[in-house]
Structure 1
Amino acid sequence: MRLLTHLRHVDLAVPDYDKQLDFYAGVWGLTKVAEDSGISFLAAEGSPEQYVVRLRKADEKRLDLVSYGAASVPDVDTLADRLLAGGVQLISQPGKTDAPGGGYGFRFFDVDGRTIEVSADVEVRQHRKIEEK
């Protein structure tokens, strides 16, 4: 059974924040939906996700987080239990999340030390239907 359903968002830290913001908003056509001193949340018009890219101004370029969706709260708990049983270090236990859209999730380190988030019950945003082709 597949417990992850989709990619929610990728969170990036960048030293050239304004240039990257111009790229993601201008070239990629993402929409800035929230901003807070040196952090921008960018949504895709055809996606129900609250945002698909989060940019953070930082001295060093890095991947802050990769977030995946799960179909249900029990799926989130099942995945956390499986990871723990396999010796994976959890950063946070499954519970209520404080990201835009809320939800229920947890974070852990993958084998390469990246922070991964898995969540369910995240509120969807109003988006437009994208037509094929």
Structure 2
Amino acid sequence: MAFSPITHLRHFDIAVPDYQKQVEFYKNHWGLTEMENDGGVTYFAAEGSPEQYSVRVRKAEEKRLDMVAFGAADKASVDQLASDLIAKGVKLIGEPDDVQTLGGGYGFRFFDLEGRTIEVSSD
């Protein structure tokens, strides 16, 4: 069996022009709990999830997927995946380190083949 450090989806982050409509959708239709809202970025948690948030909605002029974040088992798994990707020629956005966004942890980011930002982190 091949090594796979990915254990789960931590969160996905979207940017939308119809911000308030999307905030209401995730709150009222998906039933997510609003954790933080600064008027331009809202974080939603899913009941029963170990993650601090599952969806981040950001107000923007264009609609886009900002990032997809995956969980890994531990720091060693994060480091191993980063090494494996580098060996395959994938350029990392940043080396594994403490994550500075809500939810924290230890991880790194890279661009997938379509140019989307992917994060892998643990803790």
Percent identical pairs in the alignment equals 60
Gaps of 5+ in 1: 122-133
Of the candidates 10, 13, 23, which is equivalent to residue 11 of structure 1? 13
Of the candidates 51, 54, 57, which is equivalent to residue 52 of structure 1? 54
Write the letter of the residue equivalent to 1:20: Q
Write the letter of the residue equivalent to 1:29: G
Larger displacement relative to structure 2 (28-37 or 3-12): 28-37
CA distance in 2, matches of 1:85, 1:37: 41
Offset at 1:37? 3.4
- For residues 11-50 of structure 1, the aligned pairs below 5 Å read 11-50=13-52
RMSD (CA atoms): 0.8
Write the letter of the residue equivalent to 1:115: T
Gaps of 5+ in 2: none
| Contact 2:53 2:103 (C-alpha < 8 Å) held by counterparts | no
- Secondary structure of the structure 1 residue equivalent to 2:26: helix
CA distance in 2, matches of 1:25, 1:3: 31
Matched residue, 2:4: 2
CA distance in 1, matches of 2:21, 2:39: 16
Matched residue, 1:91: 93
Taking structure 1 as the reference length, the TM-score comes to 0.89
- Secondary structure of the structure 2 residue equivalent to 1:47: coil
Deviation per residue, 1:77-115 (Å, 9 max, x gap)? 000000011111111110011122321000000011000
Matched residue, 1:108: 110
The number of residue pairs the alignment matches comes to 121
CA distance in 1, matches of 2:97, 2:28: 36
- Secondary structure of the structure 2 residue equivalent to 1:2: coil
**Structure 1: which 4+ aligned runs deviate by more than 6 Å?**
none
Write the letter of the residue equivalent to 1:66: V
